[in-house]
Structure 1
Amino acid sequence: MEWVTVTTSASVEKPEEVVALFHLTRDFAAKHLPLQAIKCLEAVVGAQPPFLPQIEAEARANLAIFLLRYTHNAREAKVHLEQALRTAEDLPVSLTFVCKVISLLIACLGKLQSPVQQKQVLAKGLDLVRADQLQFEGATEGEKTRWYLVFQAHLAQILVDEGDKQAALEMARESKKEIKGRCAPLVQIQTELTVLQLTLVAQDYHRAAEQLDICEEALKMCDTQDALESWAYFHLLHSLYNLRVGKHVDLKKSLGCAQKKIYALRQSQVVAKLIPPDFLEVLHCLLVSIYFRLSGDFRDEKSKVLEAHSMIKKRSVLMSSNYNDAVSKPFYITLTFLVVESEIISSLTRGNIKEAMSNIMRIANMVHRYPETLVGLESSVYLLMGSVNILCGNHGSAEKHMKLALDSSSDDYQSNLAKLQMCLICLENDMLSTSEAADRIQELSVSFKEEERGYPAFLLCEVALALAQEDVGGAKKIVQDLIARANHKGDRQLLALGLVEYAKVLVLEGDTTLSKQVVDSAKGLATHLQHLPTLLHVLTFSNQNMRQEEVLPIVLQKWKKTVATGITNIAETKCDEIMQGLVK
């Protein structure tokens, strides 16, 4: 376990009693006896008469670490950290000790969901590392810069969680300017990567493309083994960019580059400074699994998902006994959520409703258990519940969950997806007049840019509106654009849906021959993808004059019957109960 030590310009000799208690604390920690270790530190803090302030501050800081790591006493930990910080500010202690206490206090306030206090403490930390105070005269410029970036990163994350992504991005850009010429090349690269990450979060893909070039040039100027970690993360961010804008071929290439750098990092003797190699590996597995799913390669997708779960499980065992690793725990919790979320989308793609509902309950439990870590991600749970209900034909319930997703989301991308699905529900079920639908689509038009992966899905709404308005020519033009873009972006599911809409247009034009050929292509594509909902949609359209039981193969009939019986009802109720306490 990491021990936070007070270092001072003047040596402070610890009494034998304190030395013994600190030694016992470390010994109990090594033997996985945290409660005994806590008792030892409490004995130091509560001693009468009290020990020197430096000793008490060190004991309080380490006591807070144990309380945060092994108990639910975040409020007690907060009291100790605040006292340690007040004491340290009046003493000639090292900058590192004060900054570590501040960093722990920020994490503690995160557990207590106190973003306002977090920002106040961060402001204090930033003032300390900017100021040239006498008690910190031993601190190097590099140390000050490092802590400045750590605190700025914390502040940016809070702003992102609050939904103010643009403010977080602007702050990162200001930080980049402020440290330019004052830090080592690798630190500058890490700052550039932070700007890239926040640009992607803000969904500014034009600037993200420019920032990718800036990062790559900076990395080429520092292409050493020390830069392997940064190279790997760069390629993963590049992969995320390619995924978001629908560059399927480029996605495969960037994932391959990331894999090479991660392997080289594993083989080298270089110790990762910011991101553990297995974190990079899990993130890589997640992105590769998504690539396979989009390609319709579900066996390879499943293999990558299992690999990701295996690595996270192995890491969890390590984290249970090592405080250094436990600091990374929130990142692994988030990764686990994202991997399971990807599994749910895959289950829905293949029409496996039971499996999807089981995993939705799993991530709902995760959000309930780790609210401070998964803040804002409850919208994903509602969005997925809405998607399940759409497949089941429960449009009222689907709309309810989509609205909950909108209310709880601070992520524009998630909000836009919810709005898009609600619009499609309404259009397909005649729940809106054409003028109301036109207004909704106009609102969505500013949310989905042409270069984004979700743009073809937006065009699907426009096709449905044009058909509702009996504008066959307009619908044909839009659907041809939809098909071309979905094909270019490698989105085969939307391509299949687009082909069905094209077949509808051709029927209205009287071209039944070409319509049949287009429907056959859609059937083949949906079958290859194993996307049962799309296949049902295609089969229902292609046999409109026949009863559905005469159309669907036995396996599809069974699926449809299972869905119709409302297998989601019990699971949905449980899921809603779990999430109830999170609805603001």
Structure 2
Amino acid sequence: MEAVAEALWGLADIHESSGDIGAAVKCLEAICQSQVSFLPMIEVKTRLRIATILLNHTDHVNHAKAHLERSQLLLKQIPSCFELKCRAYSLLSQCYHLVGAIPPQKQILNKGLELTATQNGISGILWSCNFNLQLANALVIDGDYHGSIRTLECGYLCASQANYSELMMVFATSMLHVHLMQWEDMNDVKNAVEKCDEVWRSIPEGKRQYCRGLYLYSQLLHTFYLLRICDYKNAAQHVEKMDATLKEDMQHVQQVEGLIAELNGINESLSHHDLHHQQRALLCQRQIQLQEHLKTFTKTCSAGRGYLEPSCVGDLKNAWKEKLELGPAPLNGEWLPKSAVHALVDLVAVIFGRPKGLFKECTRRLQSGLNTTYEELLKLGITDVVREVDLQHRTIWIAGVYLMLLMQLLENKVAIDLTRSEFFDAQEALWQMKNWFLRFPTILQGCESMIEMLIGQYAHSVGCYKDAAWHFIEAAKLTENKSFQAMCQIYAAVSFICIGDAESSSQALDLIGPIYRVMDSFIGVREKTGVLFAYGLLQMRQHNLQEARIRLASGLRLTHQHLGNIQLVSQYLTVLGSLALALHDTGQAREILKSSLTLAKTLYDVPTQIWILSIFTALYQELGESRSEVENADYERKKIDDLRKRISDAESSPHHLELIGMQIEKLKTEAQLREFDMRQADPGPSMISSLDIPESVDLVSPLPSRAASRLTAADHRRRRT
């Protein structure tokens, strides 16, 4: 009967390789359903193989779970079989994970860890690492970040006992990931970053080339850390390293494809029976050389024992092309699909480049990331009519990865379009975001506050300040992220300042006052530079010019040193130039405004250009330079006409009212009921369950008034890039 089982196993392998999953499962289930009894060991191996195929290729999780539970019962009767028992535990854990049953998943993984504690040698260590990795992930899903860190530390200790530096790097990187998700102590996060660097350096140089996926994972986390603390200067080198690594991987794929094409040609030639003996000998020699080269090139895709990713069976022939593996087997799993990593690196490059005004490169990277994301969603069957309820179990997680990437990419597109006063394009991208959210509300629930914030930015940019303030406050209510709440409240304050009446100024003070008092408690300087800008504008409104000058100068220095955000620098300079004019320091005002205008032109930032030109007009009036005043006023009018046309085009679109107009009545009826209690704002560590990729959107300005009296009253404004 053993020969029969082996024959059916082989036939199942053939069917799986050809993509006929149903036939493969039938071959294997014939063993389980046979009237003639097979040895328990054979039945266990068969059921594990069925479960693996079902998990890899189908949505039949419960079917796979049933086979695994039956395998467990059979394994209880067999005293040894350590490998099979561990594999059953691991696969069953994955089933529980897929159906969202976290308590039984943690229970089965703890049983696995108890089993590995009885086993000496490398096999026990690797399976212990497997279970620790899965348990750490389950604990994160359960919200137990401290438990996850402790579990990863246990796994790191196991890997260090085996002197397995690549595996130690997996755990070090995972710990950094959890620390970034649950940022509690700056020193803990910094230590986790340094630990990653230390472990990576311990990996022998010759082995690092086979750990591209692990290296990219680490580099991405390093970049997120640096962006979070606003260290854009050092983040740049990590973006460059990731681009270089992806380029190397692409060249690697091309080389392998070339070798395979040549090998296929040789195999075709060798199939000819009339081939001359000498020529056949030469071709055979070349065939052996190519096969050896391919073994070297595809080393990371060799079939391992599957300790760390038992479900990674699939099509090993194409794994080198389709996967960005962490390292050689048994590390031949992946953090994210290769396409997702490409899109994520594009996104990080945009987040880094956008504040610097590198819009041409950012647009190229955005388009690259969007194309990749749309292609992968289409492969998953997600078309324009598919909704969340239509997704299969096995596609939910991967669909969520690409949907979140899509929203982040579109967010940056909206920000760039608003900065360049391309309101119609920003409106279209925003409408796409809202449409995706309506179709996938559970997967994208974390994006609701971001969408509200972006609608607020759009409303502010086209002069709808009351609507903008409402959306910003709504966005703050929809998130528990204290940093994001603070930024939305700052944006709302700027919108209230732009309205211009006493009541609105009072509302602005209520919003920014609590944040101003605790601005040094935030990570990085993003919130501090934002609140200093808003506070400076408010002080100008209240005619406290010297106080405003001090605060704005402090904010400008921080922005220039840490953020490198040239739009916010331009806006700071514009306000300071207006202040200098109000204080009759015309020489300083002229120099400051020249620098500000240069930056605004670099960004194609039309509203800020108009704002600066209006101040120049007032400056020329005070200096009595009539000719310059007339020329400047004419240029200003042209810019204003251009901007008004852009706003008119946006407002004529049906999407305009659909995005902000529908909220007007709601604003009137619910404003009192849903007033935001600023006294509850307590900036602290973010309790989010995903990486906080910080947006670099800043402050927004309205169409400026041409009246010099309004200039000194600070009718100023703006945010974006």
The alpha carbon displacement at 1:495 in A equals: 0.5
Q: Considering only aligned residues, what root-mean-square deviation do their CA atoms show, in Å?
A: 4.3
User: Could you tell me how far apart the structure 2 residues matched to 1:130 and 1:338 are?
Assistant: 38
Which residue of structure 2 aligns with residue 151 of structure 1? 135
User: Could you tell me how far apart the structure 1 residues matched to 2:603 and 2:229 are?
Assistant: 21
Which residue of structure 2 aligns with residue 460 of structure 1? 533
The alpha carbon displacement at 1:491 in A equals: 0.6
Q: Are the structure 2 counterparts of residues 437 and 122 from structure 1 closer, same or farther at C-alpha, using a change threshold of 3 Å?
A: farther
| Deviations 1:205-263 (CA, angstroms, capped at 9, x unpaired) | 55433332221111101143344333333222222333333333322222222223334
The alpha carbon displacement at 1:528 in A equals: 0.8
Which residue of structure 2 aligns with residue 3 of structure 1? none
Name stretches of at least 5 consecutive residues in structure 2 with no aligned partner.
76-83, 253-296, 301-324, 327-333, 383-392, 622-632, 664-721
State whether structure 2 residue 485 is matched by structure 1 residue 494.
Answer: no
Contact kept in structure 1, 2:109 and 2:135, CA below 8 Å: yes
Contact kept in structure 2, 1:293 and 1:301, CA below 8 Å: yes
Name stretches of at least 5 consecutive residues in structure 1 with no aligned partner.
1-9, 69-76, 110-117, 160-166, 577-584
User: Could you tell me how far apart the structure 1 residues matched to 2:605 and 2:636 are?
Assistant: 19
Name whichever of 403-412 and 252-261 sits farther off. Answer: 403-412
Contact kept in structure 2, 1:94 and 1:135, CA below 8 Å: no
TM-score, normalized by length of structure 2?
0.64
User: Could you tell me how far apart the structure 1 residues matched to 2:148 and 2:182 are?
Assistant: 12
| Deviations 1:438-459 (CA, angstroms, capped at 9, x unpaired) | 5643236536637333431221
- Aligned to 2:99, what secondary structure does the other structure show? helix
Q: Pick one of 71, 86, 101 that aligns with 1:95.
A: 86
The alpha carbon displacement at 1:331 in A equals: 2.7
User: Could you tell me how far apart the structure 1 residues matched to 2:662 and 2:13 are?
Assistant: 47
User: Could you tell me how far apart the structure 2 residues matched to 1:399 and 1:180 are?
Assistant: 48
User: Could you tell me how far apart the structure 1 residues matched to 2:402 and 2:573 are?
Assistant: 40
| Deviations 1:9-38 (CA, angstroms, capped at 9, x unpaired) | x9898699x8799679747x826xx8x779
Q: Which letter maps to 1:250?
A: N
Q: Pick one of 444, 450, 455 that aligns with 1:380.
A: 450
Contact kept in structure 2, 1:354 and 1:568, CA below 8 Å: no
State whether structure 2 residue 417 is matched by structure 1 residue 437.
Answer: no
Which residue of structure 2 aligns with residue 171 of structure 1? 147
State whether structure 2 residue 486 is matched by structure 1 residue 416.
Answer: yes
State whether structure 2 residue 543 is matched by structure 1 residue 552.
Answer: no
| Deviations 1:485-509 (CA, angstroms, capped at 9, x unpaired) | 2222211111111112212322332
The alpha carbon displacement at 1:398 in A equals: 2.2
User: Could you tell me how far apart the structure 1 residues matched to 2:5 and 2:540 are?
Assistant: 82
Q: Pick one of 124, 128, 152 that aligns with 2:107.
A: 124
User: Could you tell me how far apart the structure 1 residues matched to 2:470 and 2:11 are?
Assistant: 57
Q: Which letter maps to 1:519?
A: L
The alpha carbon displacement at 1:59 in A equals: 5.3
Q: Are the structure 2 counterparts of residues 482 and 128 from structure 1 closer, same or farther at C-alpha, using a change threshold of 3 Å?
A: same
The alpha carbon displacement at 1:103 in A equals: 1.6
Q: Are the structure 2 counterparts of residues 252 and 65 from structure 1 closer, same or farther at C-alpha, using a change threshold of 3 Å?
A: closer
| Deviations 1:360-416 (CA, angstroms, capped at 9, x unpaired) | 222333334444543412222222112111112223332333243233324344333
Q: Which letter maps to 1:90?
A: L
- Aligned to 2:526, what secondary structure does the other structure show? coil
Which structure's relative contact order is higher, taking Cα pairs within 8 Å and 6+ residues apart? 2
Q: Which letter maps to 1:123?
A: K
Q: Which letter maps to 2:201?
A: K
Q: Are the structure 2 counterparts of residues 327 and 45 from structure 1 closer, same or farther at C-alpha, using a change threshold of 3 Å?
A: farther
The alpha carbon displacement at 1:58 in A equals: 6.4
State whether structure 2 residue 271 is matched by structure 1 residue 290.
Answer: no
The alpha carbon displacement at 1:107 in A equals: 2.6
Q: Pick one of 16, 19, 26 that aligns with 1:30.
A: 19
User: Could you tell me how far apart the structure 2 residues matched to 1:549 and 1:565 are?
Assistant: 24
Q: Are the structure 2 counterparts of residues 128 and 420 from structure 1 closer, same or farther at C-alpha, using a change threshold of 3 Å?
A: farther
State whether structure 2 residue 597 is matched by structure 1 residue 514.
Answer: no
Q: Which letter maps to 2:455?
A: M
State whether structure 2 residue 605 is matched by structure 1 residue 531.
Answer: yes
Count of residue correspondences:
537
- Aligned to 2:522, what secondary structure does the other structure show? coil
Q: Which letter maps to 1:495?
A: V
User: Could you tell me how far apart the structure 2 residues matched to 1:90 and 1:221 are?
Assistant: 43
State whether structure 2 residue 464 is matched by structure 1 residue 394.
Answer: yes
Q: Are the structure 2 counterparts of residues 534 and 259 from structure 1 closer, same or farther at C-alpha, using a change threshold of 3 Å?
A: same
Percent identity, aligned pairs only, is: 14
TM-score, normalized by length of structure 1?
0.77
Q: Which letter maps to 1:518?
A: I
Q: Which letter maps to 2:175?
A: V
| Deviations 1:243-287 (CA, angstroms, capped at 9, x unpaired) | 333333322222222223334455364531323554433222222
- Aligned to 2:446, what secondary structure does the other structure show? coil
